[in-house]
Structure formats: C-alpha cells, structure tokens
A and B are shown apart, each in its own frame.
Chain A
Amino acid sequence: MRRLLAVSLVMMTGLSWVWICEARGEGLEDNIYPVGKLKPVDSRLKVEVGQSAPDFSLPSLKGEEVTLGRYRGEKNVVLSFVPAAWTPVCSDQWPGYNIARAMIEKHDAVLLGITVDNLPTLYAWTKEMGDLWFPVLSDFWPHGAVAERYGILRSEGVSERALFIIDKQGIIRYIDVHDINTRPDLDALIGALADLSKP
C-alpha cells in the first residue's frame, strides 16, 4: 500500500508539473528578460563598406570552429550580431530568419548568427527557438573580441544589433548597425543581398 502511495505521489507530481508547463506555453516568451529601452547605438564602427572584413574564428553550437575566411571565393556571408540571449527582439529576430532561408540562399549567401553569450547559454536559448538552420557562433571569450574588432561592442559588454554583408571577395558590402530596441526588417537585408549580383 505504501509503495502504491509513493508511486502515485511521484506520478501526480510529474503530471501536475507537465500541466503547469503546458499551461505556461512553450517556454521562450516566458523566460525573456525585460531590458527596457536602451540607448539605440552605443559604440563606434571600426569598419566600413568597401574594406576587407576582419577575419575571425569562433566556436559554433555544432562544436566546430567557424572561420569567416573559409567562405572566401565561395559564398556571400551575412553576419547577424544580436545583443544577448534571452532578451526581447533578439528572441524573435532569428526565428524570422529561420523561415527566410530560401531567400538568403537564393543570393548564394550563408548566414552566421553571433552573440557574446557563452555556448551553454546559446544552446539553451536557441533550443527554445526550435532548430535554426544557420550556424550560431559564440563571441564570448575573449569577451566580445570580434564585436570589438568590428566596432560594435557596447559599453555594457553586449554587441549592437548589427548586420554585415560580406561578398565572396571578403569585402564588406553592407552595414546596418540598427537601433538595438527595434528589429531590422527583412526587406533591407534581402535588397542588399540582391544588390550584390548587380553589375
């Protein structure tokens, strides 16, 4: 009888937890840390359109080291820096890119997502987003070093919300250091990718 009661207790505890989790929804929105309104831009760019993109190697969630230079001569590259995991705007920008894959690849481009968070944080955060098709890279250590080289590391230690397009020759062709509080629309990015193929 005691054993039956103990089993019942364990089952009921588990069941009630499942109910509560389901009632809360799927998790991501409930776990977003409210950051309030931030200074739109809080850094000074160190690169410009027309110059070679500084090369870098960063660890990805898949466990590999991704080097920007490996795409030279093969693919255009979109770098999407977002400020931080578990914050508003960032948490829906990438799910949006998740359904824009065909449009990005149509322009012979790859997308690299970068934040200054460490890999375990990025793992938990992106898992909540579902499967992302593009590599997610951690610019955690040395902290924000790549963001700093591009001139988009903010004073509080996170990166700007910024997009860079680098062509197959490794030249920066587009920069959007966006207001950190708002999401860049897809049109500008896709339009800039389309411009790459114009003579």
Chain B
Amino acid sequence: MKRAMILLVILLAGCAGAAPQIAEPPGMEAPKAIESLDIPLPRPSSEADAAYLGLEESTDDFRMDQIKAGVLVVEVFDMYCRFCQGMAPKVDEVYELNLRSGFAGEVKMIGIGRMNTPLEVATFKEKYNVKFPLFPDNDLSVTKALQAQDEGTPHFMVIKMEPGDRVQVVHSYTGAFEDPKAFYHVILERSGLRKE
C-alpha cells in the first residue's frame, strides 16, 4: 500500500511537471532587437485596409513605420501552413477584441505572408475573411527585416513604435495560442497599455 501511495505521489508530481508546458502564457520567447521599421510594403489594394493603416491617399508603396499606430502587432503567416489556417479565426478574434477596446486607434494589426505571392495572400484573406491588412512576402525580404526568417509560422510580434522612428519589440511568440482574450491581454500588458 505504501508503495502504491509513493507511486501515486510520483505520478502526480510528473503530471504537475508536464502541465506548465501549456499553462505558460503566450510570449515566453525573448523579444527581438529591431532598430527600425524602415521596411517597404506595397499599398493595400483595399481602400479600407489603407484607411485602417492611416495611409494618405497619395501614398503608394510605404514603409512600415508610416503606419499610424503606437503598437503594431505583426503576424508572420504562410497560406500553406495548416496551423496558420487553424489559427485564423482566433487571430481575427484578437482583431475584433482590439476593435471593441479603447485601443483600436493605438494598436494596429498586419499580416506578412511568408514566401507567399499576392494571389496566395489574397486566397488566405478571402477564405478566412481576415479583416486586417495582409501583405505578400514572396522574396522573404520583409520577414528577414523583421528577423523572423528562422521562426516557424504563425509567428507573432508586438512592436512598440516610439518617438523618433525608434521601435521596440516588446513581445514575440511562435505557434498557436488557445485563448484570444489572454493573447490580447499580453499584447496590452507588454506594450504598457494595460498594467497586469
């Protein structure tokens, strides 16, 4: 009997050790050091997307640091990635949460289609009714500028845009997340918009 009790205690301890692997909140990775967002992007074909980013009507190609936001959430995704497909509704929920919060003008979201052509990005956007702007990155130039070329997809970065064109990556995370509310909370908390 005593032996059985010891075994049970060991097993419980083992389970307790396994559980934190999913109990950790998203964002345990060390943020990257990016000095600027001088990263060229094409003007979105949708005027609604251009307006969301705060682009002037005359702006064609633009730089990421021209996006009117205090915090930029970037999802590096791949149209072919099954996890990105599965995550699309949850990422959209994060977008909706932000829209309904008091931070809609402060926090903006974009997606970068890693190694995806414009058609592939458009396919993804249409299929999942993605409401925030997505950009193709067939040559990996944007992904590399974000230092995300060695990451899996989806990869999320929360970038705080500071005065003087300086930026700070306050959070980065690769993989799926379970709870959009928890993820949105991390975005606000890491960017200093909401205290823990």
Contact = CB atoms under 8 A, between A and B. Distances in A.
- Interface size class of chain A, counting residues whose CB lies under 8 Å from the partner chain: 20 to 34
A92 B18 contact: no
Given A16-B11, A19-B19, A96-B120, A26 B1 contact: no
A62 to B, nearest CB: 21
A190 B119 contact: yes
Looking at chain B's contact residues, is the secondary structure mostly helix, strand, loop, or mixed?
helix
Given A2-B1, A5-B4, A16-B15, A29 B120 contact: no
Interface stretch (B25-33, B37-45, B56-64, B74-82): B74-82
A156 interface: no
A95 B80 contact: yes
Interface in A1-36: 1-2, 5, 8-9, 12-13, 15-16, 19-20, 22-23, 25-26, 28-29
Interface stretch (A37-45, A53-61, A65-73, A180-188): A180-188
Given A28-B82, A100-B123, A9 B8 contact: yes
Interface in A70-106: 92-93, 95-96, 98-100, 103
Interface residues of B, number: 32
A129 interface: yes
A23 B15 contact: no
B192 interface: no
Contacts of B115: 183
Contacts of B81: 92, 95
Contacts of A186: 79, 117, 119-120, 123
A199 interface: no
Nearest to B88: A99
A142 interface: no
A100 B86 CA distance: 15
A92 B119 contact: no
Contacts of A16: 11, 14-15, 18
Contacts of B80: 92-93, 95-96, 183
A80 to B, nearest CB: 13
A187 B79 contact: no
A8 B22 CA distance: 22
A185 B117 contact: yes
Interface string B97-140: 00000000000000000010101100110010000000000100
29 contacts: A2-B4, A5-B4, A5-B5, A5-B8, A9-B8, A12-B12, A13-B11, A16-B15, A19-B22, A20-B21, A23-B18, A26-B82, A29-B152, A92-B78, A92-B81, A95-B80, A95-B81, A95-B85, A96-B120, A99-B124, A99-B127, A129-B82, A183-B80, A183-B115, A185-B138, A186-B79, A186-B119, A187-B120, A190-B119
- The 7 closest A-B CB pairs, nearest first, are A96-B80, A23-B21, A92-B80, A16-B15, A95-B82, A19-B18, A99-B127
Interface of B: 1, 4-5, 7-8, 11-12, 14-15, 18-19, 21-22, 78-83, 85-86, 115, 117, 119-120, 123-124, 127, 138, 152, 175-176
Given A16-B15, A19-B21, A186-B120, 20 more contacts: A5-B4, A12-B11, A16-B14, A19-B19, A20-B21, A23-B18, A25-B175, A25-B176, A26-B176, A28-B82, A92-B80, A93-B80, A99-B79, A99-B127, A100-B123, A130-B82, A183-B115, A186-B117, A186-B123, A187-B120
